[in-house]
Structure 1
Amino acid sequence: MNMSEEDVQRKLRDLFSDERLGVGPTLNPETIVAGARRRRRRRQLMQTTSGMAAAVVLLGGGLTVFTIHDRDNGAAFPGGDQLTIGAASSSLAQPAPGSSAPPVSSQAAPPNPTSGQPQSTSHDEPAPPPKSTASTKPPAPRKVTTGALLTPAGFGKLRLGMSEEEAEAAVGPLRAKDYRASCVYGYVEGTAVPGPASVSLTDAEGITVINPAGTVHTPEGIGVGSTESDILAAYPGSTKNGSAYFAPAGAGSAYRISLADDGSAIGILLTRVDQSCQFS
């Protein structure tokens, strides 16, 4: 049963004016009512403040702040209308029935101080293959230095292109002359040449072939026993004709390298490229 303030005041006056109490009223009923009214307002204020705090928590820990003013004196107190607004805002934040809830964003983890540094993967990488010790280049030609030296120019003091008179003046008389067609054949020996050698010549071209009788080698290290690969490595422009290679020697001259059945060199002579005499 709710009583009005007038009823309360009347009851208090009757209570304190009752002669059975034996004392006169010492308290003013209006003062007591005013104090009760203040206590009631404080209780309402505490209840309203507690409800507003709960609404703020529901709105996400302070994401939305409402400034509430008391309608009577303008003091900043939260009121019942603001609680209704907060509840409505909270209901708007909830997903509608049938719709999927938005993903909850979790707080980002603190950065790892070592995450920016590249991790060493040396233990994961395969070991590099060992370097091959085998040479990928073709083997160097075997150098032959056995015997006398036969150069692109000639053999000792005997030179390609010399006339018969020039050759005899340089190395001695041409022996065992043999005339066939336009060619003259013979051989020379003595201290002016490293060893005996057969020659052929013509009146127009002079000496066209020098064919040493003994073992010789060229300045490039090709001699008796050299292989075909040795010949081609020393003279890349060589051409093969039958059982012999013609290797370029100098201006207008070439080495004729005779081969055995196994492909090794067995003899070398020097010849003019353009000549018609036989190889004696």
Structure 2
Amino acid sequence: MNMSDQDVQRKLRDLFSDERLGVGSVLNPETIVAGARRRRRRRQLMQTTSGMAAAVVLLGGGLTVFTIHDKDNGAAFPGGDQLTMGAASSSLVQPGPGSSAPPVSSAVGPPNQTTVPPQSTVSDGPAKPPKSTAATKPPTQGEVTSGALLTSAGFGKLRLGMSESEAEATAGPLRAKEVRGTCTYGYAEGAAVPGPTSVSLTESDGITVINPAGTVHTPEGIGVGSTEADILAAYPGSTKDGSAYVAPVSAASAYRIFVADDGSAVGILLTSINQDCQFS
């Protein structure tokens, strides 16, 4: 319970005038009360001054640190709002009587950041096999070596351009000889040729067509059973003429390769490029 100065003075008079003390007191109650009042005011003034000094020191220290940071690091001077926020965060509380200045709390660092792993892009379920990029081409037959060899020059000892007399001197008299217009047709066989063969010739150009009756193959491996892909690979300059590919093999000769409906080769003959006789 609080007591006024008059109550304190009255209590002190009663105490000092008590006969039980045995001696007369020389103390004046008004003097004691006035001294206590002065000491209390002095203590309040000192506490207020200490609190204001601590606030000034804190604010001055914050501005000093900010000024050093601005000069060393080249940071831009903050605006009024940032300075106000900094002052507000200093927690400058005026201490009351009998209390000490609050301790300055240390700066609290930012919370630890948790690294979020990237979301997996792998989809669930079994992986799909890659699509095949291989071109769908018919399989190649490969080189054909069966049958007799038919070269770009001729068949056995018979050659394109031989006259009728030269052909009969080499392979013997032509059998089943027949003349139709300017063309003579005949049939040769014997040791001079690998197998029976039909020929067509003219008086001016000699032999213009050699058409073996049996199975033959070319030096490039094209023969009966070869595919269209094989023919085009062996003779890139080939052209399609009806049911046959015409494949030039020299400046004066070409193979005529007959193909079935499925594109496989069924027969080959040798012909001069410029000639008018039928393929006997």
Residue 141 of structure 1 and its aligned partner are, at CA, apart by: 2.6
Alignment of 1:37-186 (within 5 A): 37-39=38-40, 41-42=42-43, 63-64=89-90, 109-112=111-114, 114-115=115-116, 119=118, 121=120, 124=123, 127-131=126-130, 135-143=134-142, 144-168=144-168, 171-176=170-175, 177-186=177-186
Cα distance, 1:138 vs. partner? 0.8
Distance in 1 (alpha carbons) for counterparts of 2:133 and 2:86: 75
C-alpha distance after superposition, 1:11-47 (max 9, x if no partner)? 5885577373532225465356324431455468779
> Which amino acid is 1:219 matched to?
P
How much identity, in percent, do the aligned residues show?
A: 55
Which deviates more, 174-183 or 194-203?
A: 174-183
Q: 1:134 to 1:67 in 2, by over 3 A?
A: closer
Relative distance call for 1:155 and 1:132 in structure 2 (3 A) is farther
State yes or no: 1:251 paired with 2:229: no
Q: Aligned in 2, Cα 1:123/1:166: closer, same or farther, shift over 3 Å?
A: same
SS in 1 for 2:274: coil
Structure 1: distance between partners of 2:261 and 2:139: 23
* CA 141–65 in structure 1, closer or farther in 2 if over 3 Å, else same: closer
**Alignment deviations for residues 153-183 of structure 1 (CA, whole Å, 9 cap, x no partner):** 22123222334455456x3334234443333
Gaps of 5+ in 2: 55-84, 98-108
- Return the alpha-carbon distance in structure 1 between the equivalents of residues 225 and 93 of structure 2: 113
Q: Is the 8 A contact 1:146 1:223 kept in 2?
A: yes
2:188 corresponds in structure 1 to 188
User: In the TM superposition, what is the alpha-carbon distance from 1:205 to its structure 2 partner?
Assistant: 2.4
**1: CA distance between counterparts of 2:129 and 2:207?**
59
CA deviation profile, 1:199-241 (whole Å, cap 9, x unmatched): 2223332321111121112234433344556545654544444
Q: C-alpha root-mean-square deviation of aligned residues, in Å?
A: 4.7
Q: Kindly tell me: are residues 31 and 277 of structure 1, through their superposed partners in 2, closer, same or farther at Cα, counting changes over 3 Å?
A: same
1:33 corresponds to which residue?
34
- Size of the aligned set, in residue pairs, is 234
- 1:225, 1:266 within 8 Å by CA — same for their partners in 2? yes
Q: How many angstroms does 1:129 deviate by?
A: 2.6
SS in 1 for 2:35: helix
Distance 1:241 1:175, change over 3 A: same
Cα displacement (A) at 1:49: 8.7
Is the CA contact (8 Å cut-off) linking 1:183 and 1:201 kept in structure 2? yes
Judging changes above 3 Å, is the alpha-carbon distance between structure 1 residues 121 and 203 closer, same or farther for their aligned structure 2 residues?
Answer: same
> Using a 3 Å threshold, how does the CA distance of structure 1 residues 231 and 108 change in structure 2: closer, same or farther?
same
Q: Which amino acid aligns with 2:199?
A: V
Please tell me whether the aligned partners of residues 222 and 231 of structure 2 are also in contact (alpha carbons under 8 angstroms): yes
Match of 1:84 in 2: none
Segments of 5+ residues of structure 1 without an aligned counterpart are: 54-58, 69-76, 80-106
- Does the aligned pair in 2 maintain the 1:196–1:214 contact within 8 Å? yes
What's the TM-score, normalizing by structure 1?
Answer: 0.60
- Paired residue secondary structure (1:201): strand
Amino acid at match of 1:63: S
Is the 2:228–2:264 contact (alpha carbons within 8 Å) kept by the matching residues of 1?
A: yes
Question: Residues 38 and 185 of structure 1: is their aligned pair in 2 closer, same or farther, counting only changes over 3 Å?
Answer: same
Q: 1:245 and 1:126 mapped to 2: Cα distance?
A: 52
**Between 209-218 and 250-259, the greater mean CA deviation after superposition:** 250-259
Distance 2:110 2:48 in 1: 37
- Structure 2 residue aligned with 1:215: 215
What SS class does the counterpart of residue 250 from structure 1 fall into? coil
Contact 2:8 2:33 in 1 (8 A): no
